[in-house]
Amino acid sequence: MNDSADEIKIGYTDKSINKILANLPSGCPPVSRHFSQNEEFFFKLAGSFSVPSFPIHHDVRKPVPEKKYLKNLRSVISGMASLAPDVFRGLAYFFDPADILRPAFYRVYGCGGEEYLFLLRIDLHWKAREHTVFRSPADNTETAAYTTDKLFLEANLIPLEAGRPADCGFRIPQSISQTWIGEQGSGYYLQGIWIDGEITKFFTRLFLPSDKRLYPYYPFICKYRTVCFNFAAPEEEQRPSALLLLHRVRDFLAPHFPLIEEVLKRGAFSESLEEFSALKSKIQEDWYKHWDGVNIKSYFNAAGMKEFEIEI
């Protein structure tokens, strides 16, 4: 996938992987949903799957993966998809030469005459505290082979411009003009200042009940300079309700994007902002029903690290 601020291009796909995805087992094995101490989202599965060694690097000029990479990836997808079939159901795979350890899967949905891209990424990077190594890498060009019962993933619903075929790239209508507002520091310590995180907080707090706290989960995020939905339940049966919700959210926010951007360029988000309070007062109670029964609790795992579980 080649993505810029306003475009996502779908590249090479693999018929064997798509065949696996088209023939997933029925049923819904039990899973639980968590965030690690580093706020990485993962599913705790009922069983374990194996991840063989993968190359760490790939020439981004080559749009097609190596045969060994594909062979290993097919094995991984077969194992993890059998443990979480509803997450992968209805999707197709594509190869992203710029991010080979986060394989991508997608599907286009329609709602109210507009199109949305469901984009799922699986994280195959080895994590020392989370994974059990069964073969160490031969050198620093490949990853360790490991087993795990944790499926790290990211799933987003992204608005699209309608009527553009995938081979030309999915175009994203940008609602926010700019999220970069300057730099701080100097020399080696020079850093850009971005307000994506503050806009994400604004979006999420606006559409959650005032007494609902879901940190570190932010369901409405600023990405690709627009508002996207960030899934904690990316299973196929959960996507339609999220699609309707995001479509409604975008309709509500459409006239207010410039104001939100202007306010957050002046300072950090706070629920005491006058502009936030004014918009919050316009949210009807029925908007909040989507979050009934969704809660989050913190706990310490077996290694004494703080984690969070999302109860749905």
- Write the pLDDT tens digit of every residue in 159-174: 998 765 555 578 899 8
The residues near 47 (Cβ < 8 Å, ≥ 6 apart) are 29, 83, 149
Residue-wise pLDDT for 257-273, tens only, equals 999 999 999 999 999 99
Q: State residue 138's pLDDT score.
A: 67
Most confident of 125-129, 180-184, 218-222: 218-222
Q: State residue 179's pLDDT score.
A: 76
| Mean pLDDT of all residues belonging to the chain | 90
Residue-wise pLDDT for 198-235, tens only, equals 999 999 999 999 999 999 999 999 999 999 999 999 99
Give the domain extent around 214.
2-311
Return the ∠ at Cα 115 (arms to 114 and 116), rounded to 5°. Answer: 130
**Using CA atoms, how far apart are residues 209 and 283, in angstroms rounded to an integer?**
10
The residues near 25 (Cβ < 8 Å, ≥ 6 apart) are 82, 85
Average pLDDT over residues 276-297: 94
Residue-wise pLDDT for 57-98, tens only, equals 888 889 999 999 999 999 999 999 999 999 999 999 999 998
Structural domains in the chain (count): 1
Contact 208, 259 (CB under 8 A): no
